[in-house]
Amino acid sequence: MEQTQEYLNAILLFIYLIGSVTFILGLKMLSHPETARKGNLIAAGGMIIAIFGTIFLYQHKSEGESVPTGLHNYIWIFAGLIIGTVIGTMAAKKVQMTAMPEMVSMFNGMGGACAMLISLIEYKNDPTATVGKLLIIVLGMIIGTVSFAGSVIAWGKLAGKIKDKTIPGGQIINFLIFAGIIILAILVLGNFMPGTPALFYAILALAALYGVLFVMPIGGADMPVVISLLNSFTGVAAAFGGFLYNNPVMLTGGILVGSAGTILTMLMCKAMNRSLKNVLIGSFGGAKAGPAGEAKAQGAYKEISLNDSAVLMAYATRVMIIPGYGLAVAQAQHTCHELEKVLEEKGVEVVYGIHPVAGRMPGHMNVLLAEADVPYEKLLEMEEANDQMGGTNVVLILGANDVVNPAAKDDPASPIYGMPILEVEKAEHVIVNKRSMKPGYAGIENELFFRPKTSMLFGDAKKVLQALVTELKQL
C-alpha cells in the first residue's frame, strides 16, 4: 500500500511539473502575438492535465484516518467543471470586442473569489491551525476578497453601469478600513479571542468594503492600470492557495500571474508617465470636460469629405492608422484591414501606431487587430510609430482621443500632462474619425482637433471605412 502511494505521489508530482512548465512556456509565448494563441492553448493543456491529475491521483490523510484517501464528491466536482466550462465557452464566444475589458475584469474577479472561498473553507475546517497556516489563510482571503470586490466595480465602470464617485475623505476612510483589517488579522493570528470566528468574517467584510472603495474613485482613463493591478492581486491570492495545499502547479501559476500583473502595471504607469500612487489616489480620468464654449475658444475645426480623404490616402506614400476605442465600438477592425489591403494594392505602405493604453485594457488594440488578421509586423509600438511619424503622409485616427492629445505635452495644467502620446502632428496630414466633438474617455478636450494639419471626418467608424474603401476602389 505504501509503495503504491509513493508511486501515485511521484506520478502526480511529475504531472504538476508538466503543468508548471506549460505555464512558463505559455507565458513566454504570450509575449508575441504570432505565438500567443498557441501559448494560451499549451498553458490551458497543462492546466487540464493538472486538474485531472489532482482529481484522480491526489491522496491525503484526514484526521483520524490511518490510510490516505483520494477526493470525494466526484459528482459535485464534475458538475462544477462542466457548468463552468459551458458558461465560460459561451461567454467567450459571444462577447463583443468592446466588452472584452469587462469580461477580463469579471473573469479576474472570479479568480479572486475562488481564493477567498478557499480561505473561508480552510478556516472553517481548522480554526485553530498554526500561526503560519492561519497567516496564509488570512492573507489569501484578504487579497482575494479585495480583488473580487474591486474587479466587480471595475466591471461595472467599464460597462457604464457604475460611475466614478469620489467619497469625501475617501483616502482617510480607506486608511482606517485597512488599519482595521490589520488589527483584526493580528487578533485572529495571535488567538487573542479564541472561539470567535466573527473576527475572521469581519475581516472578510472589511476587505470587501475596501475593494469597493479602492476602485470606486479611480478615473476612467486609469482603468487599464487598475485591471492589471487587480490581476496581480488575484495571482498572489492563488499563490497563497498553492502554499496552503502544498500544490506546486497552483503556486507556480499564482506566482506567474502575480509577477506578470505587477510588471504590466508598472509598464502601464510608465506609458502614462504616472506613478502607481497617483493612479490610486489621483483623479486622472475623473476630470470633466469644460463648458461647451471652451472648444470654440480653441478655434474652428475643419471637416474633410470622404472623397478628399480617399484621394489624400490613395496618393500617399505611407499611411499610419491609429486605432482607438471608437474602432472597437463600431466593430470595424475587419473593414479597417480591408482598407489597408486596398491601399496596399495602390502601392501605399500602411502601418498601425499602437499606444499601450489605447482602449479599455492593456493590449486592447493588439487583440482587436489580431482578430482581423492584421499582420503583427504592421503594428508599431508607440516609440517606433513616433520615429516614423515624420515620414508619414497621412495619419488616420479611428476613435482614439486621449492618446493623441497634445495637451499631454503642451499644457501643464492638463490632468494628462506628461503622458507619452502618439505625436501625430509630425505627419503631413491628420484625419480624425469621430462620431462627434465630444471629449474622450478621460473627459478632456483635445487640442489636436483644432490644429491646422487636422481634418475631421465624422461618422461611425465602420460606415466611414466602408465608404472609404468604395471611394478608393473607384479611383
Can 222 be counted among the known catalytic residues?
no
Quick one: pLDDT at residue 287?
44
Quick one: pLDDT at residue 94?
84
Q: How far apart (Å, rounded) are the C-alpha atoms in residues 92 and 134?
A: 37
CB burial class (10 A; 0-12, 13-18, 19+) of residue 173?
Answer: middle
Name every residue whose Cβ is closer than 8 Å to that of residue 368 and which is 6 or more positions away in sequence. 97, 323, 327, 328, 333, 359
Q: Which of 379, 293, 298 is nearest to 336 (CA)?
A: 379
Q: How far apart (Å, rounded) are the C-alpha atoms in residues 254 and 250?
A: 6
Q: Which of 361, 355, 407 is nearest to 104 (CA)?
A: 361
**For each successive 10 residues of the chain (475 residues), what is the average pLDDT?**
75 93 92 83 94 85 60 88 92 78 87 94 86 93 95 86 77 91 92 79 95 83 80 93 90 92 83 68 47 48 92 95 89 93 95 86 80 88 93 93 86 79 93 82 78 92 94 90
* Residue 28: CA count within 13 A, CB half-sphere: 7
Quick one: pLDDT at residue 284?
47
Quick one: pLDDT at residue 66?
58
Q: How far apart (Å, rounded) are the C-alpha atoms in residues 33 and 371?
A: 11
Q: Which of 59, 117, 68, 51 is nearest to 249 (CA)?
A: 51
Q: How far apart (Å, rounded) are the C-alpha atoms in residues 175 and 153?
A: 19
Using the CB atoms, write b or e for 12-36: b if 16+ within 10 Å.
beebbebbbebbbbbbebbeebebb
Extended beta strands in 226-348, E state: 318-323
Contacts 24+ apart (CB under 8 A), 258-262: 258/232, 258/233, 258/234, 259/232, 259/235, 260/27, 260/232, 260/235, 261/228, 261/229, 261/230, 261/231, 261/232, 261/233, 261/234, 261/235, 262/229, 262/232
Q: What are phi and psi of 100, to 5 degrees?
A: -60, -40
CB atoms closer than 10 angstroms to residue 83: 10
Quick one: pLDDT at residue 273?
67
Joined together, the cell numbers standing for residue 224 give 487599464
Joined together, the cell numbers standing for residue 185 give 488579522
Q: How far apart (Å, rounded) are the C-alpha atoms in residues 454 and 299?
A: 12
Q: Spell out the domain ranges in the chain.
A: 1-94, 98-286, 292-474
CB 425 within 8 A of CB 390: no
Quick one: pLDDT at residue 296?
40
H helix runs in 246-301, sequence order: 248-271, 276-281, 292-297
Q: Which of 153, 180, 146 is nearest to 167 (CA)?
A: 153
Handedness of CA 57, 61, 66, 69 (dihedral sign): negative
Quick one: pLDDT at residue 68?
61
Quick one: pLDDT at residue 30?
84
HEC assignment per residue over 39-89:
HHHHHHHHHHHHHHHHHHHCCECCCCCCCCECCCCHHHHHHHHHHHHHHHH
Extended beta strands in 209-258, E state: none
126, 387, 402, 460: the catalytic one is: 402
CB 145 within 8 A of CB 109: no
In words, the CATH class of domain 292-474 is: alpha beta
